[in-house]
Structure 1
Amino acid sequence: MSAVKSLINEVSQKLSALETAQALYSRQLSPDFNTFDYINTDELGLSRILASLLDPKGSHAQQGSFLSLFVEYCLPTVYKENKWQGFLDNIDKTDVFLEEVTGKSNSQRRMDIYLRCQVGDESYGICIENKPYAGDQFEQLKDYAIELDNRKHKAWHLIYLSEYQDVPSEYSIKPDDLNTLTDNNQFSAVKFSDLIGWLKACQVECQNHSVSEFIAQLIKFIQKQFMGIEDMNEDNAVLDIIKKNAATIDASIKVSNTVDRMKKELMAKLKIDLLAKCKKTDYELDISYLGDGKSYERINLIIPGYDIGYICFEFQNKNFDKPCLGIKFISAEAVKTSPYTEKMKSVLNIALTDKNIWSSSLWPAGYYFQPQDWKGCSKAWLMINEGTMADKILDEMDKIFSLLKDNNLLIQ
């Protein structure tokens, strides 16, 4: 136990020293400043940023180097396959399109990012389906695969970019169809965290300081938004202490083994607090789906007489991480058939100006609950321990309920 206590003391002292240094030199370091706090980083915004970097004709003026590095780092099987050699040798000829309509399959969808390279009589195609936040749509990846095949490329590839899912859901493409694409080297699942290696390679290759700094800011954004890393200096300092010797490694494992237990105990406290503080009579609080740390665990506000949906607080990741809040329906079909789906999103957009309201196959309207990072940051757990998290969750859920009810949108 003394080794554990020593480790915790050393980490605490190191973090305290870092905080002191950052405070003293904050004007020079500006540790909390990031360009991406002032840039639209919704799905379309991120697609624009990635498309711009991948475009050999883009304003970064680095020609095809960024795209070539993307294929090398994120699509290694494509990079090594002979039938793609014509594309790699002529990568500067690639055209990049946003929201490309799937006209060849008659599905009339829009590919988030589409790359097309024409080399003589042969063409190459890459589609990137960007899923930073929203869930999959019905048969979406299946339709994109059909579209790429119908375009008669010599070689084509479909990329599923999502931090939180290793592969698209069966709702988007059947497992057998996905396995066929994978076996034919026509599909890759890429995480946002996988982009870090590519972006760092781009920094090395880049010959312009402004572009290099923009890439550095993008790396910081990805680390914070998708990896839960607020401060790399802090992260590295802790890692150095943990790896110092056998005793610190052993102590860190013992600490790690108790973290999941601590979270589950605090989650049990949150459930008790929620039930004690929920005094409303317009709805019923359902906490039966919360407690084990599985993906998509949630808290529901069940609305009497409204059985197609509920107000929902849901963790998108396992181990209680990345919560979202909004109105969720029981099925994608219910979302499609409800006459109030679009209005729900519009009402929340107007009323909740501080939120980035989105929609998906099951969610007419939702947003990412703050604090968002429950994995790498202690703020949410401290709020549970202090008893304030239940108030925050209930207040925000009640606000969603009231907005929808007052606008007569909770009607079947």
Structure 2
Amino acid sequence: MSIENLLQDVSTAVNARRGAIQHHSEILLKDVFQRVSTLRQAKRRFADELAPDFHFFDYLRSDELGLSRCLADLLDPIACDKHGKHGQGGLFLNTFVSHLSYSLKNANLEKWATTAECQAVTLEHQTNQGRRIDILIRFSNGGLIGIENKPWAGDQVNQLKDYANYLERNSTKSKWLLVYLSNRKPGSESIDSHTINKLQENENFLCLTYQDAEDLLQTAAQKTRSVRVRVFIEEMIKFIRTKVSGETDMSEQQEIQNSVLSSAENLEAAFLVAKTFDSIKTNLMCKLRSDLNKKLANKPYCLENNERFFEGRGGNDVGFKFFDCKMRTRLVIGFESSWFRDFFVGIASYNESDLTDEESELIRKIMDKIIDVSEPYGGIYPWWIYGDRVTVFGEGFRHWQDDAKPWVAINDGTLIEKLLEIVDRIYEVLKDQNALLCHDGLVKNIT
């Protein structure tokens, strides 16, 4: 066989393989779509009886602090006349400590971390260095358990190392434990691997996932005597499962699994599709940036580039700078948390000291009228709001990691239209107001 014929045979085989993969992927995706669509139709038909999309936590504070508060209240056995707000006494704390003891293989933990010895459970406990431990459980025998709750945000520099040092200094006879609750490993910038290994050897550090948290809550719920508390825990588990761990609805998940496992070809296609998702998101974010720059070519404002925003990193935003408004503020879109979570729209100053309290309040009043009431004021953002509360975006536009809607909107161009509709509205208001905030710091013509 000649080399040319060999290369031709190889090329034919490769093309045939590619065609087969594409064919099976298309079959899988169509089957999944049909199964899930049928299930959703059934849900809509019985929505008046089952209310499948009605979740308590949609109406509560659902950020990191809100989740920490729920966990802290459940773990507190002494509030409200020594029974806890939940009325179940030490049920949740005992279940939690028992799991920690089993995971650490440390029976001694259950001897000092008891309900009888529990002195206080505090939220956002401030350390000597000004940091805040999400949850601190203090025991009268000098023991301490600190819980760092990381559902979405990344770690800060030396954060866990500082927490460990604080717990060690303020506890008695090494009766302390730092629990890192996250679906990710601790960041190396927060604590180095050598320190982690040493702490784990001394049984002072433990990583828990949110799957562990779900299991603990489920175990405790089965023993809970109060129906109200049991329902609350079940809703909390659903929230963690969908909003933190990013799982789909359980019934939808089962239908998808049935489709994927129905044949070897479907299973292989599913793995190939899953492996491409990160690159799909990267390509779509590149498309978003490119489309934005093209659309802004004839607009009276431009895009201030920030590569970290387009990578979905938390704590990063990208701004729209108005040419004819000499302002110290700009309209921004950003992700408060990493991995494309907590998408928000806001007005930001370039420096925290740029705006007085009066100026920030005036910005909030104007923006509340244009869009909606702001989330709590913070730092350089006098006004900001999560994406799912912006009418033109709607449901699904807060946690991009867990929902297809933002990505579909990027791909078909509707996200650009929605976004520029907001920018244009704000620009017109600012222009009519003769510039909201001028460089001389004077607020002009604001009504």
TM-score by length of 1: 0.77
Q: Aligned pair in 2 of structure 1 residues 250, 348: CA closer, same or farther (>3 Å)?
A: farther
Distance (Å, rounded) in 2 between the aligned partners of 1:141 and 1:168: 9
The residue that corresponds to 1:71 in the other structure is: 97
Offset from partner CA, 1:345-386 (integer Å, 9 cap, x none) = 7667654445534647x9787554341233332211221122
Distance (Å, rounded) in 2 between the aligned partners of 1:400 and 1:408: 16
The residue that corresponds to 1:48 in the other structure is: 69
The residue that corresponds to 1:374 in the other structure is: 400
The residue that corresponds to 1:95 in the other structure is: 119
Instruction: Say whether residues 1:263 and 2:293 are aligned partners.
Output: no
Distance (Å, rounded) in 2 between the aligned partners of 1:285 and 1:137: 25
Distance (Å, rounded) in 1 between the aligned partners of 2:439 and 2:177: 42
Distance (Å, rounded) in 1 between the aligned partners of 2:289 and 2:268: 33
Check the 8 A contact 1:345/1:359 in 2, yes or no: no
Question: How many residues of Structure 1 are paired with residues of Structure 2 in the alignment?
Answer: 395
Check the 8 A contact 2:315/2:338 in 1, yes or no: yes
The residue that corresponds to 2:436 in the other structure is: 406
Check the 8 A contact 1:321/1:373 in 2, yes or no: yes
Q: 1:11 aligns with which of 32, 38, 61?
A: 32
The residue that corresponds to 1:385 in the other structure is: 411
Amino acid at match of 2:46: Y
Matches within 5 A, 1:148-167: 148-154=167-173, 155-162=175-182, 166-167=185-186
Q: Aligned pair in 2 of structure 1 residues 99, 59: CA closer, same or farther (>3 Å)?
A: closer
Amino acid at match of 1:253: F
Q: How far off its partner does 1:22 sit?
A: 0.5
Offset from partner CA, 1:161-185 (integer Å, 9 cap, x none) = 455x532573x66666555544433
The residue that corresponds to 1:114 in the other structure is: 136
The residue that corresponds to 2:228 in the other structure is: 210
Q: 1:222 aligns with which of 222, 240, 243?
A: 240
Q: How far off its partner does 1:50 sit?
A: 0.9
Q: How far off its partner does 1:251 sit?
A: 2.5
Distance (Å, rounded) in 2 between the aligned partners of 1:409 and 1:189: 49
CA RMSD of aligned residues (A): 4.1
The residue that corresponds to 1:128 in the other structure is: 147
Instruction: Say whether residues 1:240 and 2:258 are aligned partners.
Output: yes
Structure 1: gaps spanning 5 or more residues: none
Once the two structures are overlaid, the 10-residue window that deviates more, 186-195 or 385-394, is: 186-195
Q: Aligned pair in 2 of structure 1 residues 409, 173: CA closer, same or farther (>3 Å)?
A: farther
Matches within 5 A, 1:11-30: 11-30=32-51
Distance (Å, rounded) in 2 between the aligned partners of 1:116 and 1:196: 24
Q: How far off its partner does 1:343 sit?
A: 7.4
The residue that corresponds to 2:269 in the other structure is: 251
Offset from partner CA, 1:208-257 (integer Å, 9 cap, x none) = 32211111111111223222335221112111221233222123223334
Instruction: Say whether residues 1:85 and 2:105 are aligned partners.
Output: no
Q: Aligned pair in 2 of structure 1 residues 363, 409: CA closer, same or farther (>3 Å)?
A: farther
Check the 8 A contact 1:345/1:364 in 2, yes or no: yes
Q: Which has the larger radius of gyration?
A: 2
Distance (Å, rounded) in 2 between the aligned partners of 1:203 and 1:251: 38
Offset from partner CA, 1:106-148 (integer Å, 9 cap, x none) = 4455543221222xxx331112234456665676545443432
Amino acid at match of 1:158: L
The residue that corresponds to 2:394 in the other structure is: none
Distance (Å, rounded) in 2 between the aligned partners of 1:191 and 1:342: 41
Q: 1:323 aligns with which of 343, 355, 368?
A: 343
Q: How far off its partner does 1:273 sit?
A: 1.8
Q: How far off its partner does 1:74 sit?
A: 5.8
Q: 2:334 aligns with which of 297, 300, 313?
A: 313
SS in 2 for 1:81: coil
Distance (Å, rounded) in 2 between the aligned partners of 1:60 and 1:311: 41
TM-score by length of 2: 0.72
Distance (Å, rounded) in 2 between the aligned partners of 1:110 and 1:263: 34
Check the 8 A contact 2:374/2:384 in 1, yes or no: no
Q: 1:195 aligns with which of 213, 227, 243?
A: 213
